[in-house]
Amino acid sequence: MTIDFPAWLQATQAQAEAAVERYLPTESTGQETLHEAMSYVSVGGGKRFRPLLAAAAARLGAADADALSAAMAAIEYVHVYSLVHDDMPEMDNDSMRRGKPTCHIQYDQSTALLVGDALQTLAFDVLSRPVNLPAMQQLKRVQVLARASGSLGMAGGQGIDLANVGKDLTLEQLQHMHSLKTGALIRAAVALGGLSCADVSETLLNALDVYADKLGLAFQVIDDVLDCEQDSATLGKTAGKDEEANKPTYVKLLGLEPARAQAIALAQEAKAAVASYGEAADALLGLADYVIQRNH
């Protein structure tokens, strides 16, 4: 590897943070609390994994800086909106997230509902502002994010999850649920990174999609492994909740060590999909290792 991955990671997380802050509304005309809460849940937290993926993918072409910034922010806004709504009492009823009180605890449920709604809208707002890319490609970016987030993507995975609490899923069913609930947005992040480059080819987009598909699955398997292993303090969210709610997990289906081995194999497959792109793919390779090695 020719990039200094830890340095790239640090610089790109700062870039993600700046992108997330950049588009948040700064002026209010009576909706100060809403805007403050949108900032509370968005700024200064999380690994920024999806923006990192977008930035890593954008290294494979000549990325437009504003287009990449918009992609990084939009994908994170969708992710954060989903966390805010998932944490609400009618969903997972979580009180801590990213080491601080969840939105409905810090504010109230009506504000949390509205914050999630407005962050989703902001994602599409940001992605539809003209940047230095062909208009058709910008429209495709909106389409990619919408398909990944909706009832055939992330929200659909959430729907499947809701429909199966307390039920035994097969490995295939579990994988399908996660491919929508988590995988779809990870694939969108990588695609939006690629689509920040006016010179992106279909071949490259296809290779990126294989990478993202495998990595998204590895990410989820490791998430289950971590949830099983870690305590609340290290994880920054309420641990052991999945088991508590009798939700299906890879660890339950495969066992702890086989699940970890599966994640490692998937990360290898992800890396293989983009290996032919040489040094430009270094950040993508580094992120695949990062997923396997992370402990929170």
Question: Binding residues for its own copies, per CB under 8 A?
Answer: 25, 28-35, 38, 81-82, 85, 88, 90-91, 108-114, 116-118, 120-122, 124-125, 127-130, 134-136, 138-140, 142-143, 145-147, 149-152, 155-160, 162-164, 173, 176-177, 180
Six token digits for residue 38: 């949108």
Half-sphere exposure of 84 (CA within 13 A, CB side): 30
C-beta of 43: minimal distance to its own copies in Å?
Answer: 15
- Listing DSSP states for 188-237 in one string gives HHHHHHHTTBTT--HHHHHHHHHHHHHHHHHHHHHHHHHHHH--HHHHSS
C-beta of 180: minimal distance to its own copies in Å?
Answer: 8
C-beta of 142: minimal distance to its own copies in Å?
Answer: 4
Half-sphere exposure of 4 (CA within 13 A, CB side): 4
C-beta of 287: minimal distance to its own copies in Å?
Answer: 26
Partnered with residue 197 across adjacent β-strands are: 63
* The residue to which tokens 């890593």 are assigned: 56
Nearer Cβ to its own copies (117/209): 117
Nearer Cβ to its own copies (135/233): 135
Six token digits for residue 36: 């403050």
Distant-in-sequence, close-in-space partners of 29: CB < 8 Å, separation ≥ 6: none
C-beta of 192: minimal distance to its own copies in Å?
Answer: 13
Nearer Cβ to its own copies (109/234): 109
C-beta of 152: minimal distance to its own copies in Å?
Answer: 6
Would you tell me the crossing angle of helices 184-194 and 49-58 to the nearest 10 degrees?
30
Nearer Cβ to its own copies (89/278): 89
Half-sphere exposure of 121 (CA within 13 A, CB side): 8
Whole-angstrom distance, CA of residue 243 vs CA of residue 19: 35
Nearer Cβ to its own copies (34/228): 34
Residue 137 vs residues 127, 140, 196, 198: alpha-carbon distances, Å: 11, 5, 9, 8
Nearer Cβ to its own copies (15/182): 182
Nearer Cβ to its own copies (151/234): 151
C-beta of 63: minimal distance to its own copies in Å?
Answer: 19
